[in-house]
Amino acid sequence: MSELRRPIESGVPESTQFMHPVLRKNYGQWAWHDRPRPGVLRHVSQSGEAMYTVKAGTQRQMDVYTIRKLADIADEFCDGYIRFTIRSAVEFMTPKEENVQPLIDRLEAAGFPVGGTGNSVGFISHTQGWLHCDIPGTDASGVVKALMDQLVDEFKNEDMPNRVKITTSCCQINCGGQGDIAINVQHTKPPVINHELVAGVCERPAVIARCPVAAIRPALVNGKPSLEVDEKKCVCCGACYPPCPPMQINDPVNSKIAIWVGGKHSSTRSKPMFHKLVAAGIPNNAPRWPEASEVVRKILYAYKADARAWERMGEWIERIGWPRFFELTELPFTKYHVDNWRGGRANLNTSAHLHF
């Protein structure tokens, strides 16, 4: 008897085992595709076979009953085949055109809006938040829920100048990415240190090395080894908190929300872009975050009304200029929006080593 193959614990699993048979049969043979309606993709192969994909939004943090409900819908209409996108939307695939409308009706009735294709507001990517992140300053999934309740029509229709990618992040250092609009937590005060716990919990050299601006140094407090923060250098990023929880930076009053715009990963039509800060100090006001939602809506609808066809958010801003952007969005422009920091050479921990 031959030895069983040892599992490979790196990389992704072989994808074809999860594909619908029609997808496997026509792999690499697709001739064209289109969108018969928002939320539906149709791919047609060189042999004439078609595959319909129906895309719907989910709540991202799902219980087992919701997963079973989605699986039951896939069993009924899609031969049991289902997949989740990187932004936690769900896609159902069927080769039967007659199944498409009943599938849409079933998803909408179950509370899963169909959309997110073409020039729409795509499903918002977000970090883990309060449920199982160890350092959250806000609940990213809660912000997404509150915001998408207001933007659901923009998800279900393709009325934007281009696809809009929104991201949220519940801390300033670990997760998140460049987005057309990014909603991130913003700490405004240095960490408060519990010196009684530092020696027993924190590996002090690792904490010191983790600070990007070299603001942390060793200290002796009440006869115990501890740490101290140079508040003139500290940029309130929170990087010290994960390796040293006694350096608490999350605060119900001083942890705020900030909005950034214009980020772009791809090189399509224009080069990739970093997003830029446009609104800061927004109240971290759970559970509906009305102030943050209002700012996002102002930006989104100014872009929708003024951008040219196929312009991404950052491309629109580059064309009209930042003064006009702040005028159209009715957001205040302050001295804090001016990027004039030049302390990198003198202040940054510029070692060639990477510390995690």
Sheet with 90-94, edge to edge strand ranges: 30-37, 40-45, 50-56, 90-94, 82-84
Strands 82-84 and 90-94: antiparallel
Mean pLDDT split into 10-residue runs, the chain, 356 residues: 62 82 95 97 96 92 92 96 90 96 97 96 85 84 91 96 93 80 93 95 95 94 95 92 93 92 87 90 94 97 97 96 96 82 51 46
Residue 114 dihedral angles phi and psi, to the nearest 5°: -95, 130
Same-domain pairing of 27 and 62: yes
The pLDDT assigned to 182 comes to: 94
Structure confidence at residue 341 (pLDDT): 61
Q: What are the percentages of helix, strand and coil residues in the chain, rounded to 5? A: 30, 20, 50
- Asked if residue 317 and residue 299 are part of one domain, the reply reads yes
Residue 85 lies in a domain: yes
Residue 311 lies in a domain: yes
Any idea which residue has 């009325």 for tokens? Answer: 159
Q: Are strands 125-126 and 90-94 parallel, antiparallel or unpaired?
A: unpaired
Q: What is the predicted pLDDT for the residue at 13?
A: 74
Domain total in the chain: 3
156 and 72 in a common domain: no
Residues 171 and 301 in one domain: yes
DSSP 221-278: ETTEEEEEE-TTT-----TTTTT-TTEE---TTTEEEEEEE--B---SSS--B--EEE
pTM score, whole prediction: 0.88
* 95 and 198 assigned to the same domain: no
pLDDT of residue 29: 96
Q: Structural domain of residue 60, as residue ranges?
A: 13-108
What's the pLDDT at 345?
47
DSSP H/E element including 33:
strand 30-37
Residues 254 and 227 placed together within one structural domain of the fold: no
Q: Please tell me whether residues 45 and 98 are part of one structural domain.
A: yes
User: Cα(44)–Cα(32) distance, rounded to whole angstroms?
Assistant: 6
